[in-house]
Structure 1
Amino acid sequence: MTHGILKLKRVNRLHHVDMDDSPLVNNNLVNGAVDYKNRPVIRSKSGCWRSAYFIISVEVAERFAYYGVSSNLITYLTGPLGQSTATAAENVNVWSGTASLLPLVGAFIADAFLGRYLTIVIASLIYILALGLLAFSTLLPSNCENAVSTSSCSSQLQVILFFLSLYLFAFAQGGHKPCVQAFGADQFDADNPEERKAKSSFFNWWYFGLCAGSTIGIFVLSYIQDNLSWGLGFGIPSIIMGFALLIFLSGTMTYRFGEKTEDKNAFVRIGHVFVKAAWNCRTTPSEISAHEQACGTLHHQDSQEFRFLNKALLSPDGSNEDGTVCSIAEVEEAKAVLRLIPVWVSLLGYGIVFAQISTLFIKQGATMDRSIGSSFDLPAAALQSFIGLTIVILIPIYDTILVPLTRSITKTPSGITMLQRIGTGIFISIVSMVVAAVVETKRLKTAREYGLVDHPNAKVPMKIWWLLPQYLLAGTGEVFTMVGMQEFFYDQMPSDLKSIGLALYLSVVGIGNFLSSFLISIVEKTTGRNGQDGWISDNINQGHIDYFYYLLTGINAGSFFIFIYVAKSYIYGQRRAL
């Protein structure tokens, strides 16, 4: 007995853990987590908010940099690079869509090979390099003085370097964004009740920081780019990202890392399940049922879902040796991933509506009275900042008032479940599109009353503040849907695939942009026949964007009902339904 105690003391000294911190005394070690030296981590000295503050700061800087460049990109393309409006808009759309889908690539690299921490460091270095090259490209000589107004006045070298840097920038954010958020959530232990509550709160404050960084970036950098220097406007984000990397590295000793195991890669495990299930496609249901009864552990509700994957538990020759069949845990892991697909599909309607904020909403505002006082006109795009301000105001209210209030009623740590939160936001987005349609109908009526239908450049005597309700509703919807999607796709993914989960949430927005462009193209061809102006016309006073908004309302409402059906039948993969 004495020998055993002495041995325990020696082990604790090796891990720098006092006897009071021993798992035999107070269970203060975090299961499945290690520190930067691959040692067991002490709960009271690692992770949680002490680490999350470092990581949220990095996200604020990253969003400051990203939106500081992307929000004013079309101005640089049509200005210094001398591109036409159509060409510049096409380039921005392609780049934005690519940037929204690249997180899937970055998340795959992180989860399959490098790990989140190392991916963040490498992506940050690429970020700094890309922004530095963007700034340098603005200093290259151009031929603007001698160029024809309709042609590009930039040198070929400048254009090549700019777009190379721009897509390198998109690739860097694709590796940075899903991994930083996943790594931040990793700092909270889902098996600890207090940390589980803090983790739900983390997603709220994460989105708060995201919106704060993007709002500041849009205001500050767009002013510098338009009035001082494009080189300075692209160079400042590079410097900010350098400081952000230093902040991230300074928190290394407090971070919790996933414990390294000898298990197969998660992609290999899940792929093996599908391959084995397909290989055993001729297995009869009675054979599967017999195996489930013999196993005894498959008699619960989630194992009856996607039962065809249970075929991976059997071998065609009847053998059950190690390596010939998949384990129950591997099959359930594959089911957890497959279970997310219907939810993801049902959210694409929301993604299409989300795309209108930076396109048609602005077109509406550009035709309205934007004057403030006698000498200042508010930019039509500036109303987007009210979305960020709405989120910045509502998230603290949601986290400090609404969550405790609903938690006392529902007994759920996050107040309402993740899917309930997402559904609430989708419903609000439906209302926002109805409001947008009603306001557009009012704007068209005003244009007709004042005889401005044939004057696309004339200002309709209707204040731009009429658009404010639809922007405020869009921001309110984001507080519920966007934050809820982040938490849901992170929480419900297997532990080795958390970054992929967050990339899935980002892909809803990316695919939504592509679907929105496709839908606009169909509407233009369908409603603009025989030389007639369609719903979406260059002269929107002759078009009917309000009809298009009602169409989007119907699409989003249909997606909402599909979402409700999917959500009601969804089985949470964890022991809790946050």
Structure 2
Amino acid sequence: MAAAAAAAVEEKKFSSDEFVEPDDLVSNNATDVWNRPSRKSTSGNWKACWLIFGCEVCERVAYYAISSNLANYLFQQLHENRADAATNVNNWSGTLFLTPLLGAFLGDAFLGRYLTLSIFLCIYLMALVLVTMSVSVPGIKAEQNQPVSSIQSGFFYFALYLMALGAGGIKPNVTSFAGDQFDEEDPQESKRKMSFLNWWFVSISSGNLFSVSVLVYIQVTYGWTWGWGGAAAVVALATLLFFSGRSNYRTQKPAGSPFTRVAQVLVAATRKWNASVPDDDEKLYELSDKEAQFPHIRKLPRSKEFTFLDKAAVVSEKDLQSKEVKPWSLCPVTQVEEVKLLVRVMPIWFTNLIFSSVFAQVGTFFLNQGDTMERHLGRFQIPAASFPLFITLTICIILPLYDRYFVPLARRITGNERGITMLQRIGIGQVISTVSIAIAALVEMKRLRVARQHGLLDRPQLTVPMSAFWLLPQYALTGVCEVFISVGQNEFFYDQAPDSMRSIGAALYLSTISIGSFISSLLVEMVVKFTSTKGGGVDSNWINDNLNRAHIDYFYWLLTLLSIINLGIYVLCARWYTYKNVGDIGIGSSIDPDITSTTTMALARESSLESQ
């Protein structure tokens, strides 16, 4: 396929009258943003990746600058109670990580990743400007000791959710667009691509580091305007840098709606529910390289699971009599396998939701814990919202060590190019996540004991004489967990997604964070509902505004129990899972590419008759 593509464009000129040398042509039919064939020597690779990474780094800077202290803003400025503030933070975060499904759909199906990124970067920047206005413009901003009007809260939440919309177009397409900068058919570029997700995570962690240290400190010391306005300025700079590098980017043609491709397989298989699936794969319908509308989509060999879906690729008498292939009646094997891939990853997706619910506590109850504790380091008082800094520091330390030392060592032992499999990496992360939330429960039990010993149960405004550095183990373990599970999930969903749905794969990873946040909100609401009616006393409430009378530790133990149960289910799903296999097989790849689809089906029929 690469040779055919090279020959097709060998004589195609660039605007500068330079010819494209076949050896210099990117083999996956990538083009630049002006729809000219991409050249290996002048495009893609790390020089393009760093500019794309910059978008996500700055998006993370803005997100964490706001989310790390958002619960405190809602409690202090908008006068919401602790439970409502936690619920609203989780709902907003859940929405922000759910909108990537929309952005992925637009990037994969219609606009392409570059154009989608360009549009949603501008939306994100506009949202941050509005967020800054909501905390700085008189009449719009909420005053600490005054009632909050519906206009003030409405404007603030409108800006927040517009930010969620902007992030929806950035998050799924950044990873996929960065992956597009490497040619998987080129041995050197393919090797670089294997480690790019690790370094991508280091890059965004450096953005988190800047956000939860510098910008949060500015928020606490100089006010919300400077802290959140600084985040808007960072995103404005990233937007300019992204557009400045447009001549270096490699792009892929949108492959049409992935939902349509899935629906076609389901409809075609249902129409042929009584058809027999031949044992010989070559009797099933497949497109030749010449017929393929999107040559960059690699063929997938037929797998043995979900054989009902294979009926969509069975060539019937009605298909043979048709003058053209009807996509709602007959689908290529590769398209059928794309649907199977999506079905196979769903149990893995489902069993990663509880981890995201655990991680949601970082921006809510972990923050509330730190607010009540002694946070001085000498004369300097560390803001409670800056403690996620220790998550980021852990990631920045552990992840390069993982890539440089653990992977080569594990590779020699296991023979796996990645050191350990993607699912093993996620599983290790789930174990660490369970340990981290159990430790958080133990630390909270100690904090409550200290508060009781010093007579602070009814004086929540006073600091509990216990160092906030007791929280370091749960923050550090969360960072180690991120190295394994978050990078592993991102790698898994990107790698296992069909070529035509790479952004959807990234969105699936992000949607685990979204649904996990919503699950956390649901759990908080259920806990408040059931524990507040038990006995009617303040001590019975697991979650209330007075954390010294609350029992956040009970909530953490609930999450620990759910994590253990989830881990057992995950292990079963991981053992069942079959990894994607890529190969040039099928009818279409075994015959002359000039033969039409109708002739291909006729050959399939002849082969079928000979075997009877």
TM-score (norm 1): 0.86
State the distance in 2 between where 1:408 and 1:35 align. Answer: 39
Question: How does 1:417-566 map onto structure 2 within 5 Å?
Answer: 417-453=421-457, 455-528=459-532, 529-532=534-537, 533-534=539-540, 536-538=542-544, 539-566=546-573
State the distance in 2 between where 1:422 and 1:121 align. Answer: 32
Cα deviation digits, residues 24-70 of structure 1 (max 9, x gap): xxx75322322233333232332121211111122222212222233
SS of 2:420 mapped into structure 1: coil
Question: How does 1:175-574 map onto structure 2 within 5 Å?
Answer: 175-228=169-222, 230-259=224-253, 265-281=257-273, 283=274, 287-289=276-278, 294-295=283-284, 303-314=303-314, 319-320=319-320, 321=322, 322-323=325-326, 324-373=329-378, 375-453=379-457, 455-528=459-532, 529-532=534-537, 533-534=539-540, 536-538=542-544, 539-574=546-581
* Contact 2:78–2:144 (8 Å) recurs in 1: no
* Contact 2:59–2:235 (8 Å) recurs in 1: yes
After TM superposition, the structure 1 stretch with the greater mean CA deviation from structure 2, 527-536 or 176-185, is 527-536
* Contact 1:103–1:174 (8 Å) recurs in 2: yes
SS of 2:38 mapped into structure 1: strand
State the distance in 1 between where 2:78 and 2:451 align. Answer: 35
Q: Residues 368 and 69 of structure 1: is their aligned pair in 2 closer, same or farther, counting only changes over 3 Å?
A: closer
- Residue in 2 that maps onto 1:34: 31
Cα deviation digits, residues 69-101 of structure 1 (max 9, x gap): 333334544556666666655543332221121
SS of 2:426 mapped into structure 1: helix
Question: How does 1:87-98 map onto structure 2 within 5 Å?
Answer: 89-98=86-95
> Could you tell me how far 1:207 is from its partner in structure 2?
1.1
State the distance in 2 between where 1:8 and 1:501 align. Answer: 31
* Contact 1:369–1:459 (8 Å) recurs in 2: yes
* Contact 2:134–2:140 (8 Å) recurs in 1: no
Are 2:147 and 1:151 equivalent residues in the alignment?
yes
Q: Residues 493 and 72 of structure 1: is their aligned pair in 2 closer, same or farther, counting only changes over 3 Å?
A: same
State the distance in 2 between where 1:543 and 1:127 align. Answer: 37
Structure 1 counterpart of 2:360, one-letter code: A
Q: What residue ranges of structure 2 are gaps of 5+ in the alignment?
A: 1-6, 287-299, 584-612
State the distance in 1 between where 2:256 and 2:116 align. Answer: 20
Cα deviation digits, residues 137-175 of structure 1 (max 9, x gap): 445333999x995621x5x65544433332222211111
SS of 1:46 mapped into structure 2: coil
> Could you tell me how far 1:481 is from its partner in structure 2?
0.5
> Could you tell me how far 1:339 is from its partner in structure 2?
1.2
Cα deviation digits, residues 496-519 of structure 1 (max 9, x gap): 211111111111111111111222
After TM superposition, the structure 1 stretch with the greater mean CA deviation from structure 2, 94-103 or 319-328, is 319-328
CA RMSD of aligned residues (A): 3.3
> Could you tell me how far 1:245 is from its partner in structure 2?
1.8
* Contact 2:269–2:309 (8 Å) recurs in 1: yes
State the distance in 2 between where 1:331 and 1:397 align. Answer: 40
Q: Residues 507 and 540 of structure 1: is their aligned pair in 2 closer, same or farther, counting only changes over 3 Å?
A: same
> Could you tell me how far 1:131 is from its partner in structure 2?
2.0
Q: What residue ranges of structure 1 are gaps of 5+ in the alignment?
A: 1-6
* Contact 1:103–1:175 (8 Å) recurs in 2: yes
* Contact 1:106–1:176 (8 Å) recurs in 2: yes
- Residue in 2 that maps onto 1:129: 126
State the distance in 1 between where 2:250 and 2:20 align. Answer: 20
Q: Residues 109 and 401 of structure 1: is their aligned pair in 2 closer, same or farther, counting only changes over 3 Å?
A: same
SS of 1:354 mapped into structure 2: helix
Q: Residues 143 and 570 of structure 1: is their aligned pair in 2 closer, same or farther, counting only changes over 3 Å?
A: closer
State the distance in 2 between where 1:111 and 1:49 align. Answer: 22
* Contact 1:422–1:484 (8 Å) recurs in 2: yes
SS of 1:33 mapped into structure 2: coil
Are 2:107 and 1:110 equivalent residues in the alignment?
yes
Structure 1 counterpart of 2:40, one-letter code: R
State the distance in 2 between where 1:257 and 1:50 align. Answer: 15
Cα deviation digits, residues 330-374 of structure 1 (max 9, x gap): 11111111111111001112112111222222333334333433x
State the distance in 1 between where 2:110 and 2:177 align. Answer: 15
* Contact 1:437–1:549 (8 Å) recurs in 2: yes
Q: Which structure is higher in RCO with an 8 Å CA cutoff and minimum separation 6?
A: 2
> Could you tell me how far 1:472 is from its partner in structure 2?
0.7
State the distance in 2 between where 1:419 and 1:143 align. Answer: 48
> Could you tell me how far 1:449 is from its partner in structure 2?
4.5
